[in-house]
Chains A and B, each alone.
Chain A
Amino acid sequence: MDAILSEIIAKYNYWIYVVLMMIGFYAMIGKNNLVKKLLGMNIFQTAIILMFISSGVKKGGLIPVLDKQAALEHGVNSALINNPVPHVLMLTAIVVSVSVTGVALALMQRIYRRYGTLEENEILEKMDR
């Protein structure tokens, strides 16, 4: 039991992302309302973004902005600097996630105009008729 607990505490950031991801996944699959499905998708994406970001952070790490003079003279100790690449990648992923959300909201607006509801079972009922 202690071994499991210390394992969880040592890598708590990854456990948080797993829990968030499962919440998002549940909302996407289990919820009936389309807005909730979309929110679930957003939580899912955010969890992955958090995982990437936390993978780049180091204990006591500094921001990756270097003094050019010092870097040229003494070199760079990469253990002291947070890895900027995951952050940069996630900027792109956030852009993707925002665009998907935008498209999905626009679609939802049209669904609402057509069927007058955003509950999936009611839409399916009206579709059959």
Chain B
Amino acid sequence: MSPTNLHMYALAAPLIGAFAVMVVGRYSRRAVAPLVLGVLSFSFAAALTVFLQVLSGGGFRYVVGNWLAPYGIELSVDHLGSLMQLLVSGVALTASVSAVKSVAKDLEDRQHLFFTLYLILIAGLHGLVLTADAFNVYVLLEIASITAYGLIALGKGRAVVSSFNYVIMGSTGACFYLLGIGYLYILTGTLNMADLARIIPTLESGAALATAFSFCIVGLWIKMAFFPLHVWLPNAYSDMPDGAAVLVAPLMTKVTIYLMIRFMFSIFSPAYEFIQHAGVQQIVVGVAAVGIVCASAMALAQKNLRRMLTYLIVAEVGYMVGGVWLANAQGMTGAILHIVNDALMTLCLFLAVSAIAYHEGALDFHRLRGLYRRMPVTMAAFTVGALSMIGVPPTCGFFSKWYLILGGIEAGQWLYVGALIFSSLVNAVLFFRVIEIAYFRMPDADAPGTGHGAVQVREAPAMMLQPLVVAAAALIGVGLATGPLVQHVIRVALPGGF
């Protein structure tokens, strides 16, 4: 195991683990959980080592199977890539600890099948954050999406219909991306990102290149649920089983935003998007602002905690896309930082929701009454996540929002700045409403576990609480470590030209 291909082990571990889980799980249900957690811990340790190596020794490019670029497939293990790999493996490990418990309850005898899909999805995400080949992105995106369709369909009620709609929308997005790659290949004759970046500035055909760019970007926007292409997301994410939601909700959209950054700056260049096509940027940031406002408003109309959170994910996608298209260093820093922060915030909130749902079942607001007394630890962690979502200083949500607002002011995008502030206010209203219901309202007299006076504490099992507490601590930890994180990782990771 040489240190230069450790990132491959981080990727291969969940992939091999997936097949091991499927085979072993047939014979022994008990072996599934240790196998999954072992594989993901190994993957996390490897990703952490690679990240520390990249921090001290700088990034490198890795050629898979010794087929040299531009013909073979290259992986780029740079600051941004290894940060994302660390994020993916960390979130996956934390989420899986909780998923083991909730899946054991929801899908008793199909655990091993669930975790097979789960691990393949994680392997796909690992591949997506590392790859430096444009066609490879398409294949890995579909690996991640197809497993996600399967995981969503395992949910109860109308999850199958939501999953089918996601299949249609997701495949359309992937097809658009493939079409754009086709145009790029016809124009350049290569699929390697570095090679594409070298050839594209020498091309003369403006219209064909612009078509390729817009097809790919729209494809990625559909995949990341950028407003107004978001309609599939709220249903799909609120109908998923809890064990899948804690993994898919924090990671899928965020990794797609990372892909957009890769596509815009590793294949094309800031000069192409922001100087040669100067007007487009205004429109995209404007749409992002409208998206933030609309998604926040729709979140306000929801009567179910989990559905409310799914609309907030759509709003957060608007934050990051807008931040990237602001075209200045502050905005980019904010967008990349927000990818990390939003993944952690969504993880924390969805872990809390999954812990609440373990005993309570449905998550309509009126059933949350008196929850602070019944589940004090869960609700404390939920409050930390909520404060971070609103953007209250010691938590990490504040810092990325701060950078995004600074970037918006610098670019003179007042609509976007206004949308960010409006969305923070709406988040404050949303979460304080939940906190008010859960803290001050008394539960109905006939609700289980309550009598007059003495209220029983009935927390979720420890395996669901531990990851939740870790995630809440990470929110504050990352918030306090924002300075070094920005200085040593994100500033270095900013694409050339910023």
Chain A contacts to B: CB under 8 angstroms: 28, 34, 37-38, 41, 44-45, 48, 51-52, 55, 85-86, 89, 92-93, 96, 99-100, 103-104, 106-108, 110-111, 114, 123, 127
Q: Given A41-B168, A110-B160, are A55 and B185 also a contact pair (CB < 8 Å)?
A: yes
Q: Would you list the 10 A-B pairs with minimal beta carbon distance, nearest first?
A: A96-B142, A110-B160, A107-B164, A104-B167, A55-B186, A111-B160, A52-B182, A103-B149, A48-B179, A100-B171
Q: What string of 1s and 0s marks CB contacts (under 8 Å) between B168-201 and chain A?
A: 1001101100110010011000010000000000
Contact partner, B185, options A86, A96, A123, Cβ 8 Å: A86
- Cβ–Cβ < 8 Å partners of B153 in chain A: 106-107, 110
* Nearest-Cβ distance from residue B157 to partner chain A, whole angstroms: 9
Q: Is B59 an interface residue (CB 8 A)?
A: no
Other-chain contact of A100, B135, B138, B142, B179 (Cβ < 8 Å): B142
Chain B: minimal CB distance from A11 (Å): 12
Min CB–CB distance B14 → chain A (angstroms): 19
Beyond the given A48-B182, A111-B160, please list 20 additional residue pairs across the A-B interface where CB-CB is below 8 A: A28-B172, A37-B168, A41-B171, A45-B171, A48-B178, A55-B186, A85-B185, A86-B185, A89-B135, A89-B191, A93-B138, A96-B138, A96-B142, A96-B146, A104-B164, A107-B167, A111-B161, A111-B164, A123-B161, A127-B158
Q: Which residue of B lies closest to A37 (CB)?
A: B168
Q: Are B172 and A44 in contact (CB under 8 A)?
A: yes
Residue of B nearest to A40 (CB): B168
How far is B175's CA from A52's CA once the two chains are assembled, in angstroms?
12
Residues of chain B lying within 8 A (CB to CB) of residue A110: 153, 160
A111 → B minimal CB distance (Å): 5
B333 contacts the other chain (CB 8 A): no
Question: Which residues on B sit within 8 Å (CB–CB) of A45?
Answer: 171, 175
- Measured CA separation A118–B250 after assembly (Å): 32
Q: Does B150 contact A (CB under 8 A)?
A: yes
Contact of B163 with A by CB under 8 A: yes
- Enumerate chain B residues within 8 angstroms of A34, measured Cβ to Cβ: 164
Chain A residues with Cβ below 8 Å from B139 are 92, 96
Q: Which residues of B contact A (CB under 8 A)?
A: 135, 138-139, 142, 146, 149-150, 153, 158, 160-161, 163-164, 167-168, 171-172, 174-175, 178-179, 182, 185-186, 191
Q: A52, A55, A100, A114: which has the most chain B beta carbons within 10 Å?
A: A100
In the bound complex, what is the Cα–Cα distance between A93 and B163 (angstroms)?
Answer: 21
CB within 8 Å for A103 and B146 given contacts A28-B168, A45-B171, A92-B139: yes
* Distance to closest chain B CB from A39 (angstroms): 12
**A123–B171 CA distance with the chains assembled, in angstroms:** 22
Pull 7 A–B residue pairs with CB atoms less than 8 Å apart, ordered by A.
A28-B168, A45-B175, A51-B179, A96-B146, A100-B146, A100-B167, A108-B164
Bound Cα distance A100, B185 (Å)? 24
**Cβ of B292 to closest chain A Cβ, rounded Å:** 27
Instruction: Give complex CA distance A92, B174 in Å.
Output: 13
Closest B residue by C-beta to A41? B171
A99 touches B160 (CB 8 A): no
Complex alpha-carbon distance, A51 and B171, angstroms: 17
Smallest Cβ-Cβ distance to A111: which chain B residue: B160
Alpha-carbon gap, A100 to B149, bound state (A):
9
Cβ of B429 to closest chain A Cβ, rounded Å: 29
Contacts of A41 in B (CB 8 A): 168, 171-172
- A86 vs B191: C-alpha distance in the bound complex, in angstroms? 11
In the complex, which residue of chain A has the Cβ closest to the Cβ of B150? A103
Give chain A residues whose Cβ lies under 8 Å from the Cβ of B175.
Answer: 44-45, 48
CB-based nearest B residue for A44: B175
In the complex formed, the residue of B with least CB distance to A110 is: B160
In whole angstroms, what is the CA distance A28 to B146 when docked?
Answer: 18
| Chain A positions within 8 Å of B135 at CB level | 89, 92
Chain B's nearest CB lies how many Å from the CB of A78? 11
- Report the separation of the CA atoms of residues A44 and B182 in the bound assembly, to the nearest whole angstrom: 14
Q: Would you give the shortest CB distance from A65 to chain B, in whole angstroms?
A: 18
